[in-house]
Amino acid sequence: MRKWLPAGFAGIALAAVIGIFLGVSAYTFTYAEGFSYLSDDPKACINCHIMNDQYHSWSSSSHHSRATCNDCHVPHDSLLAKYSTKAIHGYRHSKGFTFQDFHEPIQITRRSYDDVIGNCVRCHEDMTHDIRLSIADVPGAPASAASSVDCIHCHASVAHGPTR
């Protein structure tokens, strides 16, 4: 029969550090309502006060009855892409809010901007088809011009417009 030897100081210190880290992580995840971010419920986006303006403007927009935050802000090509994007957003937002080093008003990253444009085109395929084809037909336009349509440039206030 094997006897367990008493743990040395290093073992106790390591166990304490790991225990504190796990405890703080579990508390933070619970306090921040972490499981809500795995859903498609737009109310998860207002767990943080900084998103209140965006949520309220979306609530009174034309997209309110048709699209949730995830419909526009995360990719739809695979579950892996969706949840890895949500993880990246979660990490960036929690880091920014914890260390108070985020830009106010909140700004979209280039990757997120590209996801939004891709989702605009995906949902409005019929409406944008001719526009994208005409851009691609412009003499000297690069082959990728049709995919570089910037819906937000002209329609920035559609989903997050001014509240009434």
- The number of CA neighbours under 13 Å toward the Cβ of 83 is 7
Confidence (pLDDT) at 32: 78
- Mean pLDDT per 10-residue section of the chain, whose length is 164 residues: 67 93 90 83 82 87 88 93 91 83 83 91 86 67 59 82 56
Q: Write down the pTM of the prediction.
A: 0.72
pLDDT of residue 127: 86
Between CA 146 and CA 66 the distance in angstroms is: 25
Helix (H, G, I), strand (E, B) or coil at 21: helix
The alpha helices in the chain, defined as continuous H runs, are 9-31, 52-59, 69-73, 79-99, 110-123, 125-136, 151-155, 157-160
